Amino acid sequence: MGMSVTISVATEQDAEQIFRLQYLCFQSEAALYGNYRIDPLVQTLDSVRAEVASDCVFVARLGDEVVGSVRGSVTEDGAACIGRLCVHPRLQGHGIGARLLRAAEAALVEERGAKKFRLTTGHRSEGSLRLYRRVGYETVGTSQGDDGVPMIVLEKQVPAGSYAATA
Ligand SMILES: CC(C)(COP(=O)(O)OP(=O)(O)OC[C@H]1O[C@@H](n2cnc3c(N)ncnc32)[C@H](O)[C@@H]1OP(=O)(O)O)[C@@H](O)C(=O)NCCC(=O)NCCS
């Protein structure tokens, strides 16, 4: 891949690139569901900025370019909700998505005391479902997003002991 892709915590300055990347990456999901009003496509830049400030947000960088992102936050029941995982289409299939997910999981445990991880994905999104199951997520139910797309809810328990040592 030439230059190497690094994973780091997102800064305020990354919000606009994350916003644009998200818009690009989720086009394939919109096409899959015939719905161009899915949440990641209608989220405003201000809302992305607010999440960068409050949530656990990571980016994958290739040089100065943000080529991947993920975010998560801990809910009242101690579950960390992880979402908006996306990787630039030209760089998919090289393990960047899995690396972003691991970085978010580790930070959510170590910095925010997550007891388990939860994520949701569209029921037809086979690539994402394969990735999530491969890294230990199991289906726990279904939900209906605001955008009307039926979603599958997956969870993974935090392994006992130090997250970095066991994950
Ligand atoms: C879902 C998404 C984030 C995955 O990102 P990614 O970087 O391609 O993910 P990975 O590379 O870690 O895994 C994808 C595949 O590449 C394979 N892969 C991982 N590392 C690899 C490597 N070094 N060489 C070759 N293949 C590799 C994985 O085995 C996996 O294969 P599979 O699809 O058969 O399971 C990306 O496809 C995306 O942005 N999709 C659009 C947005 C979206 O749907 N997000 C999820 C919403 S919940």
Mean pLDDT of 138-154: 92
Share of the chain above pLDDT 70, in %: 96
Task: Give, for ligand 1, the residue of 22, 58, 69, 94 to mutate: max count of ligand atoms closer than 8 Å to Cβ.
Answer: 94
Task: Give, for ligand 1, the residue of 67, 128, 139 to mutate: max count of ligand atoms closer than 8 Å to Cβ.
Answer: 128
In a domain, 1, yes or no: no
The answer on pLDDT for 166 being more than 80 is: no
Share of the chain above pLDDT 90, in %: 88
The answer on pLDDT for 154 being more than 70 is: yes
In a domain, 19, yes or no: yes
CA of 50 to the centre of ligand 1 (A): 27
* pLDDT tens, residue by residue, 114-145: 999 999 999 999 999 999 999 999 999 999 98
Check which CATH number belongs to the domain holding 80 and give it: 3.40.630.30
Of the candidates 100, 108, 109, 132, the residue with the CA atom closest to the CA atom of residue 119 = 132
CA of 127 to the centre of ligand 1 (A): 7
In a domain, 65, yes or no: yes
Number of domains, the chain? 1
By alpha-carbon position, which residue is closest to atom 39 of ligand 1? 86
Residue 136 CA to residue 151 CA, distance in Å, equals 18
Is the shortest distance between the CB of 38 and ligand 1 below 6 Å? Answer: no
Of the candidates 88, 66, 86, the residue with the CA atom closest to the CA atom of residue 9 = 66
Per-residue confidence (pLDDT) for residue 148, from 0 to 100: 84
What is the domain range of residue 140? Answer: 6-166
